[in-house]
Structures are given as C-alpha cells and as structure tokens.
Structure 1
C-alpha cells in the first residue's frame, strides 16, 4: 500500500458492537458547495490536457495577488489495502481553509479526480490518487490550472497554500513557476518517501518527492505549519524539509493540539496573519 492519508478513519459507519444497521451517507459535493457558498466562492471546472479539475474561486480585485489553496489526498483509501473508488474528500480541509481566508482573491483547487464526475474525467485511474498522486502528469495538470488562475490577476503573483498531500503538490508547483510569491503548507506531506517509511508502507516510484525540490526553493519565503498532535505527518517532516531548503527563507511553526484532520480552519485566520518572509527582509 502507498501512504493514503487516514487509515480506517474514512469508513463511513460503524456496525459492529453498537448494532447499527445502516450508514450515514455524506454528500461530499453538497458539503463542499455549502462551504464555498458561505465564503462567496463559486464552483467551476478548469479543463487541462489531462484532467478536468474542480475549483472554487472568489476574484474581486485584479490588482492583488491570488491565494491558491490545494486540497489534500482526500478519501484515497478505504483501508490499508483497499483503494477508494472516489478520492473526493469528505471534509475538504483545504476548502475550509480557503473559506476562512478574507483576502480579495481566493481560489481553491481540488486534486485530479476529486469532485469532478468520473464520466467527465476519462483519464482518471486509481493510480492518480494512490501511487502516482504526485506524478509528473498530475503536477503538469495542476500547473495548467494554475496558469488559468494566475491570468485573472496578471502580474500580481500567487501565494500557494497546500494541505497534507496538497502541500507536496504546492512545493512541486512552486519549484516550476516564477510567479509564486510565497509558500505555506498545513500538515504538509513534504517528504513522501520519508512519510511512507514512518508508516511502513510501500514507496511510490511513479511519484515525485517534494523534498527533492527543497533546495531549489531556498530563496522563496515559506512557512510550514505542523502540529504536535499530528500522528500522520509529524513535525519532523516539515523540519526535515526546512533543513533541506535552508533556514533563511523556510520556517516551521509547530502549533498545539490539532490532529492531522483536525479543525485547522478555526486556527487559520490567526495563522494566516503570520508574516512569511526571509531572514533579514
């Protein structure tokens, strides 16, 4: 198995000792639409050469930078050995972060095969949310979507924020682009091989490892949020990445008592106010 986020926590119901006969079904699209609506984020589809990607956006000024939020791995695995048939996240943590951001220009970008119907995504395959979820194909598709997003405020740049596995994608995008002003990650998987070793799961030879891009980002202002309560991506992952990137511009902030899939959105407005700068700037 490859590292797929939460183990067993994605099971929708408990039948065993409590004698529960049915499951509670979560409408993941309705949940996301409600989150977006509260923050005036409008749902749209961004079509790339490989995938149709779901986004939620609010662009109110073309003279301001754009905050781009990238979702985590979602409901990638049903159990340690069984991949999900649909990686659409149940909680959409990165969308909740975007909804908590009051900046004038905010865009949320789902990962390939999340939210968008499979019929509209004929190239979707389980490998793109399991062993190949950080593959060059995935990064290229996300980068195409970023081009479309950045064109809505030309020349103003983008601030990229990635949650969990979206942190890996955020790093890989930042390493390829010249319009990224800053990088933030939240509980980010910033070293996929290292995280897989922690959990004693299989390597992902079809995926890129974000830590390999760390050195190329040494001059990019970045702040990596992690928690002492995170048992999925512990603080050592962010600290290891920051060491590889260099401490002049890469900083780690360890917060207290937020689990990997905890309520990061509640803390986000305060965390977002922390300046992201390089030492001496």
Structure 2
C-alpha cells in the first residue's frame, strides 16, 4: 500500500507492507501487533543540485532506505519526507524565506528541504502522520543520514518511540555544517543541542569507517552523550549500507525481539 497523506499543509508519500494486500483504510486496523512497527526515514537526497543551486526536486534518484524497505521481509512503514517523492505542499516558510516566491517547478517551497529540513514544522507534521497511521503502536525508527536526524527528533516527542537505529546518522547538525564549511541550517533543530532521549528509548547508532560525509567521530561523541550503543561498520562509506542489508536485518530483528520481550 502506498499513498499520500497530509498534515499541517504538508503532503508526505507513505508506503506500508505487512505481507498481505492492504488499502489505506484498513491499515490502522492491521497495526495491532505486539511487535514494534519499523518506521523508515530516508536521507536528505539532493537538496542542492550543485553548489549554490537548489534542486527543483530533492528526491534521490536511488533512495537508499527505500531499497532497505523493499528487501525487508517483514512489516514496515516507509514515511516519505515533505517535498519528496512528488509530495506537493502549500505550507509557506517563515520569514525571511517566505520571500522566495511560491513553488512553480518544485513540489514545495525549497526552504523545507534546505535550511528548514529538520525544522519544528517538519518534525511536527511527520509526528502527526505517525500518530494518525500507527496510533499508540510502539515504534522502531530507522533512518540514514538526515533521516537519522529526523528519527532522533521524532523519538524525542513520540511517547510510543521504543527504539532508534541510525546508519551514518547526522546526529550533530552543527558539527556537520561546520565540519564541511556549510551554511548553518537556520530554522532546523539539532539533536545534539537537545536533552538526551529517555533511557526507555533504545538507541543503536552505526557509523561507516571511511565516511567523509557524516564522520564516525561525530556519531560516536553524540552516541556517548546519549549513552547509546555505537557501532563502527560494516560499511566503509556513507552510501555503502545496501551492501550489508543482511547484517542490518539481523540487528533490526534483535532489537525488535528485545523490545517485544519488554511488553
């Protein structure tokens, strides 16, 4: 099942599978298992097509986490981010970005996938969609790169968040922008600037040993602050994770089993 859902003037593309045919109206009734629901969140894709030029569509031509979602044999919910996968949104950004003009060739105002990609408005809208679709079901949030940022931000406000797993997760946005000499993401939230998550939320953060996009040291330091599990490898570069889906699948299965036993 795949469809667009709306919250707070944002649209998001959502896909759900549980091994049987299902439409949007019957999805919520099916989400009654004792096991946590895996929620998959994609990375940032292509906010800029080249330096100083904003993309008309930030969607990656080869989305990594959607590849994970498709190969996973069990139940999962893929939550597309606002403005991605053709999701057209009318939400106007705050000043001064509201002066950029209405979207014409792009699906929404570019602020929402550039400077405001991790903003309060984006996180609130995604959290609302999860509450609509999953109810009180316990959640295991799985994200890559900027999807890991959003997984952490969502876990901080979802009382039913049971676990977070990130792959090359951008857990310290300030370290990432300064480390690459990028402009600050003014308007975005930073997990490293917020209090650590509740100890009731299990965390497992994976880093790629040769990752020059989100460096392992940034992940390790934030994992230590969170008192979370940190794991280096098996991937060696930022986008290598699809080569190691069997290992990631095993780790997800272990985490799901641990959470289920705590019920």
TM beyond 0.5: yes
- The answer on whether the counterparts of 2:115 and 2:186 sit within 8 Å (CA) in structure 1 is yes
Q: Which is further off, 64-73 or 213-222?
A: 213-222
Residues 1:99 and 2:70 are matched in the alignment = yes
What is the Cα deviation at residue 94 of structure 1?
A: 1.2
1:81-96, aligned counterparts within 5 Å?
Answer: 81-96=52-67
1:83-125: CA deviation from partner (whole Å, max 9, x where unpaired): 111111211111111122222x20111111001343xx22321
Q: What CA distance in whole angstroms lies between the structure 2 residues aligned with 1:196 and 1:114?
A: 22
Counterpart CA distance in 1 for 2:45 and 2:195 is 24
Residues of 2 paired with 1:258 and 1:180: CA distance? Answer: 29
- Number of residues of Structure 1 aligned to a counterpart in Structure 2: 228
SS at match of 1:239: helix
- Contact 1:186–1:225 (8 Å) recurs in 2: yes
Q: In the alignment, is residue 131 of structure 1 matched against residue 115 of structure 2? A: yes
* Correspondent of 2:248 among 271, 276, 279: 271
Question: What SS does structure 1 have at the residue aligned with 2:122?
Answer: helix
The CA distance in 1 between the partners of 2:65 and 2:161, in whole Å, is: 18
Q: How far does the alpha carbon of each residue in 1:162-182 deviate from its partner, in whole angstroms, 9 at most, with x for none?
A: 111010000000000111111
After TM superposition, the structure 1 = structure 2 runs for residues 238-277 of structure 1, keeping only pairs within 5 Å, are 238-246=219-227, 250-262=228-240, 264-274=241-251, 275-276=254-255
Task: Say if 2:83 is the partner of 1:113.
Answer: yes
User: Does 2:126 align with 1:142?
Assistant: yes
Structure 1 residues 166 and 86 mapped into 2: Cα distance closer, same or farther (>3 Å)? same
Task: Tell me the distance in 1 between the aligned counterparts of 2:16 and 2:5.
Answer: 11
2:102 corresponds in structure 1 to none
Mind listing any 5+ residue stretches in structure 1 that lack a counterpart? Answer: 1-41
- Which of 192, 204, 215 aligns to 2:196? It is 215
The whole-number CA distance in structure 2 between the counterparts of 1:50 and 1:240 is: 36
Identify, as 1 or 2, the structure richer in helix: 2
* Aligned residues of 1:171 and 1:213 also touching (Cα < 8 A): no
CA distance in 1 between partners of 2:221 and 2:44 (Å): 21
Specify whether residues 245 and 117 from structure 1 end up closer, same or farther in structure 2 by C-alpha distance, changes over 3 A only: closer
Structure-1 separation of matches of 2:41 and 2:243: 18
Check conservation: 1:229, 1:256, Cα contact below 8 A. no
Question: Which has the larger displacement, 44-53 or 217-226?
Answer: 217-226
- 1:13-24 equivalent positions in 2, closer than 5 A: none
**Unaligned regions of 5+ residues in structure 2, if any?**
20-29, 92-107
Residues 219-234 of structure 1 mapped to structure 2, 5 A cutoff = 219-234=200-215
Matched, 1:197 2:156: no
1:257 offset after TM fit, Å? 4.4
Does the residue aligned with 1:216 lie in a helix, a strand or coil? coil
Q: What is the TM-score of this pair, normalised by structure 2?
A: 0.81
